[in-house]
Amino acid sequence: MNIGEIARRAGVSRSTVSYALSGKRPVSEDTRRKIQQVVDELGYRPSASARALANGRTSTIGLVFPPAGNHYTGMQLDFIGSVVEAAAAHDYDVLLSPSGVDSDRSFQRLLGERRVDGAILMEIRLEDDRVDHLAALGFPSVAIGRTAHSEDGWWVGLDHTALAAACVHHLADLGHRRVALVNRPEKLLRSGYESAHRGLDGFTKAAAERGLTVRTYCCGDDAASGQTCVERILHDDPATTALVTLNEAALGGIYRGLAMAGRHVPRDFSVTGVVASRWAETVTPQLTAADVPAEEMGRRAVDLLVERLDHPEAPARHHLLTPPISLRASTGPAGATPTINTRPDTSF
């Protein structure tokens, strides 16, 4: 069913039907009622493209979210869900574009074909050509994350520098002197992945302030990599008694690696990090962590984008979130140097 058939049955022109549906030009009340009666009888619903032509809006926002590796992590899926839910509250649909750079064809189609009214960008790099490209076009967008030059832009960020530092200070207050950092994959660090760089910066500066002996490690986004990373940590410095992780996808493997090495959490090894609460609460013992507020960040990003769409001349706004550390059961006072277990515990 299309506008032409509605016009024929209502005895009016196609343009009159279009004006009545879009409200772009006045139509007499009798004519509007006649057209509406036909629309109701036929169950007509205008397509998204027809609505876009009529009012210049698609009622769709783009979520430009490339997976950091070869799959989405649990935390990334939390962000996707939060954006979709928040957009629905504003009566917007979400089109997911797994694009990484502005030369990506999916990203170019999103812009060139005007499939969306605005975009939310994720997996932000310190130098991010997508952010620069959209700014140059004047295309409405909001980033979840911060580039190195986005102090005055439209974004919602998590203060990974402060959060990683808070984890270090928490461990130092418990007496830990030899601490490791489990970061994101090396490929992401090399590409300028914002949270990995800012987290590393906060970790190293806080460790220097407290006079700690530390080592930093990149780790793949999966449990097997987490286990391997723990094996490296304990091989490089068996006296290590604690670690901070920025990698929630490796968390299960980190715990498994410690169990295999005979390290009890938290009796003789403490674990903390920056992780979404629902993932921190799935491990045993539950993880003491700076909880990533994925739902709040997604909601704030959508709210900012809708504000930008409704008020194009509004000055740029942003939110930098620094949630407190939630004390759970994975950290405790540093004890004596742990006994090295040379026989893996295969019962885990």
Digit-coded pLDDT (tens) for 233-289: 999 999 999 999 999 999 999 999 999 999 999 999 999 999 999 889 999 999 999
Does the predicted TM-score (pTM) go above 0.85? no
pLDDT tens readout for residues 193-220: 999 999 999 999 999 999 999 999 999 9
Q: At what angle do helices 294-310 and 74-89 cross, to 10 degrees?
A: 40
User: Kind of pairing, strands 118-121 and 93-97?
Assistant: unpaired
pLDDT tens for the chain, 348 residues long, are 577 888 888 888 888 887 777 666 788 888 888 888 888 887 766 655 555 545 567 889 999 988 766 677 778 888 999 999 999 999 899 988 887 554 467 777 777 667 889 999 999 999 998 898 888 888 999 999 999 987 789 999 999 999 999 999 999 999 999 999 999 999 999 999 999 999 999 999 999 999 999 999 999 999 999 999 999 999 999 999 999 999 999 999 999 999 999 999 999 999 999 999 988 999 999 999 999 999 999 999 999 999 999 999 999 999 999 999 999 999 999 975 444 443 333 322
According to DSSP H, which parts of 281-331 are helical? 294-310
146: tokens are 């911060």
pLDDT tens readout for residues 155-165: 999 999 999 99
Task: Report the percent of the chain where pLDDT is more than 70.
Answer: 89
In the three-class reduction of DSSP (H, G, I as helix; E, B as strand; rest coil), residue 298 is classed as helix
Res 77: pLDDT: 86
CB 242 within 8 A of CB 270: yes
CB 171 within 8 A of CB 190: no
